[in-house]
Amino acid sequence: MDSIPRLPLAEWIDSFVTWLRGAAGFFDVIRNGIGWLVDRFEDILTFPPAWLFIIIVVGLAVLVSKKKIGLPIFTLIGLYLIYNLGYWDGAMLTLALVLTSAFIALVIGIPLGIWMSKSKIVESILKPMLDLMQTMPAFVYLIPAVAFFGIGMVPGVVASVIFAMPPTVRLTNLGIRQVSNELIEAADAFGSTPAQKLFKVELPMAKGTIMAGVNQSIMLALSMVVIAAMIGARGLGQEVYYAVGQNNEGKGFETGIAIVIIAIILDRLTQSFNSKKEEG
C-alpha cells in the first residue's frame, strides 16, 4: 500500500479555488445581493418596537393555532423573556440571517426538487450531491464561504444555505413523485399543459410534503447560527461563541434559551400554518 502514490486531492482543490477566485466580480455580485437581502430583513424586523413585534407574532400564532392557546402563550412569554434578558437585538439579527438563508434555500431548492421529479437523469446527478451536502460536517462549509466571501453575515448565510437546502430539494421531489397516477391521467385527459398540471395538480397535492421540507430547512438554518458566528455572523450565535470563549456558563445558557425559544416558535408556526392550509 505504501508504494501507491498519494493523490494530490488537497492541491487539486486549492488550484480549483484559486481558479474560481479569478471570477472575483461574480462573487462580489453575489455578496452584494445577499448583503442587501440580509439588510432588508433586518430593517423589517427591527423597524417595529419590541412590544409591537411581540403583538404581531402572537397574533400570527393565534391565527394558525386553531383556537388552541398553548402556542400564543408560549410565544408571548418566550419573546418577552428574550427582551427581558437583553437579547432582543441579537434575536432580530439571528432571525434576519435565518430568514435570508431559508428564503434563498427555498428559491433554489424548490425548483431543483421539481426538476428532479421530472427527470431521472437529474435525480441521479443531484442525489449524490445532496448526500454530500447533508453528511459533510457543518464546519467544512465555512472554508469555501470565507474563501470566496470574506467574513461577516454573507458567508454565514452562504454556509447556512448549503447546509439547509437538501431537505427542501428532497421533499419537493418526493412530494411530486407521490402524486397519484390517477390524478395525473385525469389532468392529461382534460388537456392540461405541463405547467397547468404542475401548478394546479402536482404542487397542491405535494404541498404538505414540501412544507415539511421548508420546516426542516428553517430549523437547519437556525442550527447554523452558532457555527456561522465563527466567521463573523452577528446575532445570538455570536453571544454563544463569546460565552464559550470566556467560559461564561450563565451567559451561554441564557443565549441558548433564546435560540431554543426562536426555534420552537418558528417550528410550531410553520407546522401549524401547514396544518391550517391542509384543513382549509
Average pLDDT, the chain: 86
Q: What is the DSSP string of 22-53?
A: TTHHHHHHHHHHHHHHHHHHHHHHHSS-HHHH
Domains and CATH numbers, the chain: 9-279 (1.10.3720.10)
CA distance 36 to 50: 23
In the predicted structure, residue 27 carries a pLDDT above the cut 80? no
> Would you state the pLDDT for residue 257?
92
Q: Which of these, 148, 150, 169, 30, lies nearest to 100 by C-alpha position?
A: 30
Mean pLDDT of 155-172: 90
Rounded to the nearest 5°, which phi and psi values hold at 66?
Answer: 55, 50
Mean pLDDT of 18-24: 71
* Residue burial 72-103, b: 16+ Cβ < 10 Å; e: rest: bebbeebbeebbeeebbbbbbbbbbbbbbbbb
Q: Please report which confidence band the pLDDT of residue 174 belongs to, taking 50, 70 and 90 as the band edges.
A: very high
pTM for this prediction:
0.85
> Would you state the pLDDT for residue 273?
65
In this structure, of 86-95, 102-111, 141-150, 177-186, the range with the lowest mean pLDDT score is 141-150
| Residue type at 258 in one-letter notation | A
In the predicted structure, residue 276 carries a pLDDT above the cut 70? no
**Cβ–Cβ under 8 Å, residues 218 and 270:** yes
In the predicted structure, residue 172 carries a pLDDT above the cut 60? yes
Mean pLDDT of 133-150: 80
| DSSP helix, strand, coil percent of the chain (3-state; round to 5) | 85, 0, 15
In the predicted structure, residue 55 carries a pLDDT above the cut 70? yes
**Cβ–Cβ under 8 Å, residues 155 and 145:** yes
> Would you state the pLDDT for residue 23?
67
Give pLDDT tens digits for 192-222. Answer: 888 888 888 888 888 889 988 989 999 888 8
Residue 23: how many CB atoms within 10 A of its CB?
A: 11
